[in-house]
Structure 1
């Protein structure tokens, strides 16, 4: 390995290693309307880099592909990039590279009073909760700079992995992972080595379905019915949408397995602040014969009950300790073909000056160095979040994209109507 030992912060945990091979960055992109001051925003990003030193760190790999979190190298830190362009386009920063730094800020400006601001953070050091915390802090710093001309930051410590937080609370690995319902036999296959010439960075921008505020409020209201949750309702709707693609003309029930992350920050004792953990999501699973002719509330209730049971019994809290058996070179099980649902909840209201408005928010992903996968991919991935009172679902994969997007919209619309009739 070509770094000095004093540069090493720590070896990445299994919860973090999953995102090393492809160099995965998770992006939070907002559309800005109004007078965006890029000089001030650039200063705010510089302050953010000082406040959260982990974003200026880098990741190195050994000959086996294992990732190591390193302190910043000798190269200058890359600040915000900004230039004219189409604000409807999310751009990949030219310099994006985990061996350089772990967060980038790109701004697309236009003469129409609209801009796009995208914060990219390497997924090994930030999940949804941590990434949104960084974006929220960026807008805090921007507003402070406009109002006071400067700001004072205190550097945070490096965040720790979920494995570290679990061990610190005395949680031990149990006899079950919680993924048994979606586990398949591992088909032995040799993962192709990384290409000699690195592939250029690539972006995935999920297709989105956005409900209006009224439909969203109705679904949230239905989620207060005893025995169900909003997460259970939306997950049920998404499973039904995916089943509609598989059931064909017969409409027979479709066996589906669902795997989804559960943010453990508030479920550990003591709780973990957002910026003190990297990927703080345990995993939960659910499997069922999805019958689209059956009552969606019954399916939602089963999903909700299963998660509540697995949390009460501590299964989700220790699930990360089973990750080496399912991800990476030491895996002995497969999760191939599961339906992935990532529900990041409500996006907080960002503190911004009166001179601008944020009119849209979306999640994107960038592979800084795309490589063949070292593990089985999901059959489809759904991203769920609420921004300014509007429920949004992003769709990744799943076969016929147009049909699946339509099916998701239909199921969510029907769910909102179910709320009216309840």
Structure 2
């Protein structure tokens, strides 16, 4: 059974990007119960039980049989499993979802890593998937025999998926009606803007050469993590200044990149921001629906070494807000299929995927959540290009803001990314520092 991909979804097939969610745990975790919870969640979401197949000139999602559908893999391991999963792709033709539970010897520390192809998810639905999985697990654990009696055999055996799945409608087909001439005019204007103001990209620092044997290039993640107190201070500073936290982060990234470009005078830099469509459709699309429901907004602006960071943050936030008020996000989704012809439409110096403030998983009593992360990853990187946008995935789980910098070591070295992370940290804290606070918590992986 198949569901044809819409033209926008087809773009993700070529990009080969995925969401990698992880949570670190301390305490008891029953692998068999978590496996049942995973089967139940995937049984409810047909797109999680599919692979991508050729369908004429395009592609389709093909439903997997019971023997092929993704199951939770249980293994022994520690933090190294995260790196392994981050560097294990979801190739076309294989299941679009993978889940691994790794437990250290002794069984007190665990790591769950869930990977989902971007063709069938976005940040909001990926986070909802993770939280729903743990909700089901918690119910099974806490209700015990009562829960098993209520759901019958589903509690003792893998959940069986419905034979006739209800496929989610592609978001591009849920957009409000518009005159095609308006969309064509919008495309012409956007192309003209990018042609007249191309943005600069960040040059790679890694020599373009084959790594030594045993030192293969891989995806790594450098992480900036603020504690709850620092995160709240940043939010209060943003409110007091009348700007958004997203604007502050975008400003910090652009000013740091501008300094690394060197030279005098202004440079045209671009901030590419995601725009959630779920909440802006009528009716809204629930975060539990596993589809890609996001478009992008690009703002190109001149940045000098002396640019006021707060003024830049205000400009970024105002430009994004006014674009949404005009309904540009709907037009940006409609013209997304033109991006392969006009790559500059989505070419930002920095890509800031901000999920906002969300709650992390709720676990049974006795099991502690020590960390939770969302990181985007790709199958293909292009060190031969010599430069690229800087990716920054921003999300605040349970009041702690994290900025994740995924990078490929053939492009940006770990040392380069750590220095850049530290510079961004300093730029963010400059909005809040009074000089007597303890140093911020920052971690790199």
Q: Give the structure-1-normalised TM-score.
A: 0.82
Query: Does residue 1:17 correspond to 2:28, yes or no?
Result: no
Deviation at 1:157, TM superposition (A): 3.2
The answer to whether structure 1 residue 209 and structure 2 residue 209 are counterparts is: no
List aligned pairs for 1:11-410, cutoff 5 A: 11-14=5-8, 16-21=9-14, 23-61=16-54, 66-73=58-65, 75-90=67-82, 91-92=84-85, 96-111=90-105, 113-149=108-144, 150=148, 157-166=166-175, 169-171=176-178, 174=183, 175-177=185-187, 183-184=194-195, 204-225=219-240, 227-248=242-263, 250=264, 252-276=265-289, 278-327=291-340, 331-334=341-344, 335-336=346-347, 338-367=349-378, 370=380, 378-397=388-407, 399=412, 400-410=416-426
More helix per residue: 2
Cα distance, 1:388 vs structure 2: 2.6
1:262–1:283 CA contact under 8 A, matched in 2 = yes
Partners of 1:219 and 1:416 within 8 A in 2:
yes
Shift of 1:141: 0.7
Q: Are the equivalent residues in 1 in contact too, given 2:23–2:372 (CA < 8 A)?
A: yes
C-alpha contact (below 8 Å) 1:204/1:365 kept by paired residues = no
Q: 1:294 to 1:263 in 2, by over 3 A?
A: same
Distance in 2 separating the partners of 1:43 and 1:95: 24
Using the TM superposition, give the Cα deviation of residue 76 of structure 1 relative to its aligned residue in structure 2, in angstroms: 2.7
Q: Distance in 1 between matches of 2:61 and 2:267?
A: 43
**In 2: Cα distance, 1:74 partner to 1:30 partner:** 27
SS state of the match for residue 352, structure 1? coil
Q: Secondary structure at the match of 2:360?
A: coil
Between stretches 117-126 and 380-389, larger displacement belongs to: 380-389
Distance 1:376 1:272, change over 3 A: farther
Change (3 A) 1:206 1:17: farther
Q: Deviations over 1:390-421 (max 9, x none)?
A: 2111124485323312211211221222899x
Query: What's the CA shift string for 1:319-338, capped at 9, x where partnerless?
Result: 111111113xxx24434463
Instruction: Provide the aligned C-alpha RMSD in A.
Output: 3.2
Q: 1:324 to 1:393 in 2, by over 3 A?
A: same
Report the TM-score when normalising by structure 2: 0.78
Relative distance call for 1:395 and 1:367 in structure 2 (3 A) is: closer
Q: Is the 8 A contact 1:179 1:259 kept in 2?
A: no
| DSSP 3-state at the match of 2:29 | coil
What's the CA shift for 1:180? Answer: 5.1
Which whole-Å CA distance do the structure 2 matches of 1:283 and 1:394 have between them?
19
- Within 2, Cα distance between the matches of 1:332 and 1:342? 21
Q: Following the alignment from structure 1 to structure 2, what is the Cα–Cα distance between the partners of residues 390 and 366?
A: 22
Residues 115-124 or 217-226, more deviating = 217-226
Partner of 1:192: none
